[in-house]
Structure 1
Amino acid sequence: MESNYHTLKRSDNQLIVLTHLSQLLTYVTGFGGLITPLIIWATQKEQVDGMDAHGKSIVNFQLSMLIYTIISIPLIIVVGLGIVTLVLIGILAFVMPIVNAIKASNGELPSYPLSINFIS
């Protein structure tokens, strides 16, 4: 008798929503906005339906924001424009996880603007 074992992914929009919102840990604790969603995505992408797509989007967005922040720091000294870009990055990094958490709760795919596709 042959065993036909298939792993069924469970639907867990709440965990996906929490994964998006975990990016806001940076504003509360000063760190964790990249690490926490990365750990949740890495451990749950095989078990939760849709987690892989959401997790990749989150990690790509967080890495993109990190790069934009690093680029903005020298712009403060050189041009002064870096302060404006840092404020815009801060607003974007705060608002977009909330917007995408709402989308996830409705079963929609995330969309993070200015996100570089590091993981596809």
Structure 2
Amino acid sequence: MSEFDNATPPVTPGSTVPSDQRTMALAAHLLGIFTWAIGALVIWLISKDDPNKSFVTDQAKEALNFQITIGIAMLICVVLSVVIIGALLAPLVGLFGLVFAIVAAVKSNNGEAYRYPFALRLIK
């Protein structure tokens, strides 16, 4: 198991996550679509010091890491657009980011701790 495999959910299975925390986690994932990483960063900074909001903190960090990963992939696509392949890959990266952000939002709104399959875990 590598250091990037952080599959431990912040909430024990079978416990219920309060509705306000599920909504904040949903917002953290969906704001990435519209604000890149800024929305998830704001939610993480607001909730990181409150031990009662461990679910929100975890999901905001996960959304922030994923949006940073998507940003790096888009930057690589811009560089590779010199040889045309980047222009072909950029829409795929954008679609990938959109689909996984929606899936993560739905899962976190159901109270499940979601882990993106391809995200650099830069914020711990």
Q: Same fold (TM over 0.5)?
A: yes
C-alpha displacement at 1:84, in angstroms? 2.2
Q: Does 1:95 align with 2:95?
A: no
Does residue 1:22 correspond to 2:26, yes or no?
Answer: no
CA contact (8 A) 2:40 2:64 kept: yes
TM-score of the superposed pair, with normalisation by structure 1: 0.78
Aligned-pair distance for 1:105? Answer: 1.3
The aligned amino acid for 1:77 is: V
**TM-score by structure 2 length?**
0.76
For residues 45 and 78 of structure 2, what CA distance do their matches in structure 1 show? 30
- 1:50 is matched with 55
Which residue in the other structure is 2:117 paired with? 113
Larger Rg: 1
Gap runs ≥5 in structure 1: 1-9, 26-31
Asked if 1 retains the 8 angstrom alpha-carbon contact of 2:48 and 2:57, the reply is yes
4+ aligned runs moved over 3 Å, structure 1: none
Report the identity percentage. Answer: 28
Answering whether residue 82 of structure 2 is matched by residue 73 of structure 1, we say no
Distance across 2 between alignment mates of 1:44 and 1:91: 29
* Structure 2 residues without counterparts, runs of 5 or longer: 1-16
User: What count of residue pairs does the alignment treat as equivalent?
Assistant: 104
Partners in 1 of 2:43 and 2:58 — Cα distance? 13
- Once superposed, what is the RMSD of the aligned Cα atoms? 1.6
- Report whether the alignment pairs 1:63 with 2:68: yes
Q: Does 1:13 align with 2:22?
A: yes
Residue number in structure 2 paired with 1:4: none
Query: Matched residues in 2 for 1:15 and 1:46: separation?
Result: 15
